[in-house]
Structure 1
Amino acid sequence: MNPNHKIESDKLADWLAKKIVEEIEKRANEMAKQKNEELKKVRKEKNEELKKVRKELKQIITDKDKMLKKVMKEKKEELEKGNSALITKERQSTYELQEAHSELIRGFRDLSGEGSVIGVKRMGEVDEKPFLKVCEQRFNGENVGLQHAMLCSEWQKNINDSAWYPFKLVVTGEKMKEVVDDEDEKLKKMSEEWGEDVKNAVTTALEELNDFNPSGRYSVPALWNFEHGRKATLSEGIVHMTQQIKNLKRQRT
């Protein structure tokens, strides 16, 4: 073979090989580009689907939230109506109990006699017995009645005087409570002048006012259990009044 022909043949072979490689690279690049475009398209479609799903989920959550809020609002309104009805019923029951208590007090004023176990006591009204006792010890004759009346009247006036506030706060358990302050100057002076029994009578009246009529400084009637020295329950009052009525009926027959 002619050397020149061999050279030309090799050049042609190299050129062909180069062209084949270029063609292969070109096709590979085109295929890669096509696949990349297809992948982008798929990703775009998937992203659109995902956005759609997210939008649907968001709408579902929004609808559920609205429904939940609506249900909660309805339940709240139902509870408020029920609570309002209970409060009204409780107020009505309290009013009826107060009315029954007041009626019992009015009835006991007519039915109860001296030494009755259940009766009416004026809360905040000073007990006159200690005053009478001390007046009998210090005064003679007609002066006893006069001094006793003046002394009781003076201290009842003091007890009803809102400007005089002989109370202090003390802690009992986890609560704060108002009690009579034994260190009050007026009470201390009274104890020195008239004795401890008279002071205790005034202290008791002050405590009763603070318990039974804290908004005012005047005595109020209360159904009282004299046997146990405490406020009588409504049932105790009804039972006792029923017995009193039965006794009256027996006396009339």
Structure 2
Amino acid sequence: MGEKVLETNEILKGSKSTADAGEKGSICEEPKHQKLKLLVAENNLRNSALQMAFEEQKKASDNFLRLFEEQKREKEEALRKILELERNLDEKQKLEMEIEELKGKLEVLKHLGAEDDTGVRQMIDQMKERLEEKDDDLNYLEEFNRQLLLKERESNDELQEARKELIAGFSNLLSSNRVSIGIKRMGELDVKPFKNACKTRFPSDEAEIKAAELCALWQESLKDTEWYPFQIIKDDKGNPKILLKEDDERLRSLKKEWGSEVYEAVTSALTELREYNPSGCYVVPELWSFKENRKATLKEVIFYIFGQLKILKRKRN
């Protein structure tokens, strides 16, 4: 009888131990499950944020594209009117000549002293009427020209504002050195020619430092508003052209001491500053086609951004 009681107790103890172990196992598994749920939620939240960011970028690009198309149409219309005005330039000159001729004839008729003559008075009245018509036509052409110039100026201002917004809004996307369309800092010296020149004169551990110092020194020189190594000459057709002075003392010394590559870097930066910021002489960002080494059009930039956004979306997915 005692042995059976002992067996029963052992069985009960074993069952209790098994139950306790099961409870402990479920307690251990519960935090893992919660952690997994948190990771999934964080991942979903991150994907949602990325999707929202992509949609915002796409919306901004769509707005820029719409703005570009509107401005393109407006500019084409303005150019069409300007061409029309140029075609009418001869007509304007003819009108001016006719007006002067009519004025002369009127003066002659007045000095004939035959104002009592009905025929003469009629001729004078007719000529006055024609003169007024010619004056009206001339005023119309002049006002038309003024409106075209104003519209062209407004269109250019809007285009420049759109370029500034693209530079500010997509600087991260366009700042890589390996892009075909990006942002170039006009007037900023390229340090590579300075490095190449310094490597031929200094040990490798000093060349980098010397190149950086030399580049910074010449970047400061470019800000000197009193230094203007340019001259104005006329080409074969008599049109003025701005060229670098070949006998400028600073540039001659630079070329002699550091070579053609450094000289080209400095003169290139000088030319960019003269074009983009002649009064301030500080670096100006510009949308640039590195592939073709020229200023990028708004259309090129917008389509490039669209392409990059599609690539980013595929990578995230």
Q: CA deviation at 1:87?
A: 2.2
Please tell me the root mean square deviation across aligned C-alpha atoms, in Å. 2.4
Q: Matched residues in 1 for 2:189 and 2:242: separation?
A: 19
Relative to structure 1, is the Cα distance of residues 213 and 173 closer, same or farther in structure 2, using a 3 angstrom cutoff? farther
Counterpart amino acid of 1:91? Answer: R
Partner of 1:252: 316
Residue in structure 2 matching 1:129, options 171, 175, 192: 192
Q: Matched residues in 1 for 2:177 and 2:286: separation?
A: 16
Q: Matched residues in 1 for 2:163 and 2:187: separation?
A: 18
Counterpart amino acid of 2:246? Answer: D
Partner of 1:203: 267
- Does the CA contact (< 8 Å) of 1:119 and 1:223 recur in 2? yes
Q: Matched residues in 2 for 1:53 and 1:194: separation?
A: 86
SS in 2 for 1:203: helix
Q: Matched residues in 1 for 2:256 and 2:280: separation?
A: 28
Residue in structure 2 matching 1:144, options 202, 207, 216: 207
Q: CA deviation at 1:237?
A: 1.7
- Does the CA contact (< 8 Å) of 1:108 and 1:120 recur in 2? no
Number of equivalenced pairs: 203
Counterpart amino acid of 1:169? Answer: I
Counterpart amino acid of 1:176? Answer: P
Counterpart amino acid of 1:147? Answer: K
Deviations 1:211-245 (A, max 9, x none): 33334422212111111212222222222122122
1:165 aligns with 2:210: no
Q: CA deviation at 1:202?
A: 0.6
1:156 aligns with 2:209: no
Counterpart amino acid of 1:231? Answer: K
SS in 2 for 1:224: strand
Structure 1-normalised TM-score? 0.71
Relative to structure 1, is the Cα distance of residues 171 and 59 closer, same or farther in structure 2, using a 3 angstrom cutoff? closer
- Does the CA contact (< 8 Å) of 1:180 and 1:206 recur in 2? no
- Does the CA contact (< 8 Å) of 1:118 and 1:232 recur in 2? yes
Q: CA deviation at 1:52?
A: 9.0
Identity of aligned residues (%): 41
- Does the CA contact (< 8 Å) of 2:232 and 2:241 recur in 1? yes
- Does the CA contact (< 8 Å) of 1:108 and 1:119 recur in 2? no
SS in 1 for 2:118: helix
Deviations 1:37-76 (A, max 9, x none): xxxxxxxxxxxxxx99961112112211221222223323
Deviations 1:74-102 (A, max 9, x none): 32333333233222221221111111222
Q: Matched residues in 2 for 1:130 and 1:78: separation?
A: 57
Partner of 1:111: 173
SS in 2 for 1:162: coil
Q: Matched residues in 2 for 1:197 and 1:80: separation?
A: 51
Counterpart amino acid of 1:97? Answer: L
**Larger displacement relative to structure 2 (170-179 or 180-189):** 170-179
Moved over 4 A (4+): 51-54
- Does the CA contact (< 8 Å) of 1:159 and 1:217 recur in 2? yes
Counterpart amino acid of 2:290? Answer: F
Structure 1 residue runs without a partner (length 5+): 1-50
Q: Matched residues in 2 for 1:247 and 1:211: separation?
A: 35
Counterpart amino acid of 2:151? Answer: K
Compare CA radii of gyration and give the structure with the larger one: 1
SS in 1 for 2:247: coil
Partner of 2:250: 186
